[in-house]
């Protein structure tokens, strides 16, 4: 870890010296500008929550986990407790970041820019590791008529994530209400007079779909790039946007196709005993996620809103996925994407002292058809592949309200944020929704986040 940090610091220093030389002495060469920040978070949670990146990236609280039924606890003479109602506190600087902004000479008549960015947000076998965030190059053509063309190649924000971002202090940046993913892509944008069209071909690397994995005779949900990459066709995004002095808006949709499995298993009778035989299957799942966002900014005021009618968006860190709806005689499965209505509203005012309010909502809309029952007459068993696994197959809805206050200087920021997240869990219905019966209950987490950040 010490060697890695020392190497990074030496590289930043070397790039900084090179950047000064190139900008002053060789303007026809690539200009390099180092940037980044050191950021520390102190987080306190009132219960166990689903998190990643060492607890920094906070999603939602886990459902209740009781140590027994009321009758069992009474019979044993023990207190009935929720095992997930345990507070936590941590202080970490995992998201400290380094980056290089690049600006080069023209290529084929286009201006060229790029960026390489990394942080310590990953985990290795012993400690935190340096991970790639962004690595892309842009070519931009501007015609005399005002028509512009831009091509981006490399790892950049997913179209459902970028362009507008909530101003929350927490590292999760509004997830799971805001889609969150940086992904390899080829994006083309043409614009004129404030209006533009964007088309993207998107692949997967760090942020992946969940899908079926077979081990020890049991199917489970595992995140992998295989489901998307073996489909051969990339995820596609098409959108139309408007950019004015104060308004930024976009309407678009993604379309993605997966091959969840290439090998299935059939049960055959061999000498009176059931035996599972592997067989080649050709399975596909196609889903669409339309989205709309709007942003208004004027002086020290900013209002941002995004809505998604999400289908199978586990690859952008949302609590969503897909499920098996039928089993064919040849052993292949049919699937349907789980759907959810997801939105957030973010409003901020101020500059040096800035107040921000984030509000998010998610509603599970199910699959729109019945799921296949792999269980028995006594217990239904559905195969659902989603972010977080079986922990959240019984999730009905999620709310979040997060006010924050920050003090901001050019090279220094400090802030405090209160984040209230509430989920309703219940009984899973045959169509993937959650029944609105007496078992529907709410679980809440309250997170207090203190942030200190030094920019360079």
Report whether pLDDT(1) > 60. Answer: no
The total of structural domains in the chain comes to 1
Mean pLDDT, the chain, rounded, equals: 89
Model's pTM, two decimal places? Answer: 0.88
Could you tell me what percent of the chain has a pLDDT over 70?
A: 91
Q: What are phi and psi of 263, to 5 degrees?
A: -125, 125
DSSP H helices in 115-191: none
Taking the CB of residue 314, how many other CB atoms lie within 10 A of it?
A: 23
Higher pLDDT, 453 or 144: 453
User: What is the reported pLDDT for 27?
Assistant: 57
pLDDT tens, residue by residue, 99-130: 999 999 888 889 999 999 998 876 665 566 78
- What average pLDDT does this structure show over 272-288? 87
- What average pLDDT does this structure show over 433-451? 94
**Burial environment of residue 137 by CB neighbours within 10 A (0 to 12, 13 to 18, 19 or more):** middle
209 vs 221: CA distance, rounded Å? 10
Element (H, E) at 3: helix 2-25
449 vs 95: CA distance, rounded Å? 14
211 vs 199: CA distance, rounded Å? 27
Q: What are phi and psi of 71, to 5 degrees?
A: -65, -40
- What average pLDDT does this structure show over 235-260? 96
Query: Which domain covers residue 307, as residue numbers?
Result: 2-455
Q: For residues 96, 407, 61 and 132, what is the CA-based torsion angle, rounded to 10 degrees?
A: -20
| CATH value at residue 275 | 2.40.160.10
Token pair 């942080």 is at which residue? Answer: 119
Locate 292 and state its tokens. 């709309």
pLDDT tens, residue by residue, 13-41: 444 544 444 444 455 788 999 999 999 99
Q: Which of 155, 141, 161, 164 is nearest to 187 (CA)?
A: 155
Confidence band (pLDDT; 50, 70, 90) for 267?
confident
Q: DSSP string covering 352-390, please? A: SEEEEEEEEEEEEEE-SSPPP--S-SS-----EEETTGG
């Amino acid at each position: 870890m010490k060697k890695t940090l020392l190497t990074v610091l030496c590289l930043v220093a070397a790039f900084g010296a090179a950047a000064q030389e190139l900008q002053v002495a060789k303007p026809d060469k690539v200009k390099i500008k180092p940037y980044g920040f050191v950021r520390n978070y102190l987080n306190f949670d009132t219960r166990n929550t689903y998190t990643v990146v060492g607890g920094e990236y906070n999603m939602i609280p886990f459902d209740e986990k009781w140590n027994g039924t009321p009758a069992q606890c009474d019979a044993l003479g023990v207190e009935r407790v929720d095992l997930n109602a345990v507070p936590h506190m941590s202080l970490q600087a995992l998201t400290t970041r380094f980056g290089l902004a690049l600006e080069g000479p023209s290529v084929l008549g286009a201006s060229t820019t790029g960026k390489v960015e990394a942080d310590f947000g990953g985990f290795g076998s012993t400690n935190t590791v340096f991970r790639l965030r962004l690595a892309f190059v842009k070519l931009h053509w501007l015609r005399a008529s005002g028509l512009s063309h831009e091509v981006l190649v490399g790892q950049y924000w997913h179209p459902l994530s970028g362009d507008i971002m909530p101003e929350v202090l927490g590292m999760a940046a509004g997830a799971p209400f805001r889609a969150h993913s940086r992904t390899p892509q080829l994006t083309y944008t043409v614009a004129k007079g404030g209006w533009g069209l964007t088309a993207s071909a998107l692949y997967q690397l760090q942020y992946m779909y969940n899908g079926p994995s077979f081990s020890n005779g049991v199917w489970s949900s595992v995140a992998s790039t295989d489901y998307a990459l073996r489909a051969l066709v990339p995820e596609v995004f098409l959108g139309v946007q408007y950019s004015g002095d104060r308004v930024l808006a976009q309407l678009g949709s993604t379309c993605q196709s997966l091959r969840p499995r290439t090998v299935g298993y059939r049960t055959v009778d061999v000498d009176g005993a059931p035996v599972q035989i592997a067989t080649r299957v050709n399975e596909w799942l196609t889903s669409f996620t339309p989205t709309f966002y709007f942003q208004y900014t004027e002086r020290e005021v900013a209002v941002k809103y995004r809505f998604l009618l999400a289908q199978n968006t586990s690859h952008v860190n949302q609590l969503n996925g897909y499920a098996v709806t039928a089993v064919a005689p040849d052993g292949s499965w049919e699937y349907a994407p789980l759907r959810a209505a997801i939105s957030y509203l973010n409003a901020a005012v101020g500059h040096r002292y800035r107040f921000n309010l984030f509000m998010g909502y998610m509603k599970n809309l199910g699959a729109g058809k019945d799921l296949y029952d792999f269980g028995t007459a006594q217990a239904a068993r559905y195969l659902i592949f989603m972010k977080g696994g079986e922990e959240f197959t019984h999730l009905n809805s999620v709310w979040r309200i997060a006010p924050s206050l920050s003090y901001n200087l050019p090279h220094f920021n400090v802030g405090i944020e209160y984040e209230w997240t509430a989920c309703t869990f219940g009984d899973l219905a045959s169509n993937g929704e959650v029944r609105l019966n007496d078992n529907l209950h709410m679980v809440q987490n309250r997170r207090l986040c203190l942030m200190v950040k030094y920019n360079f």
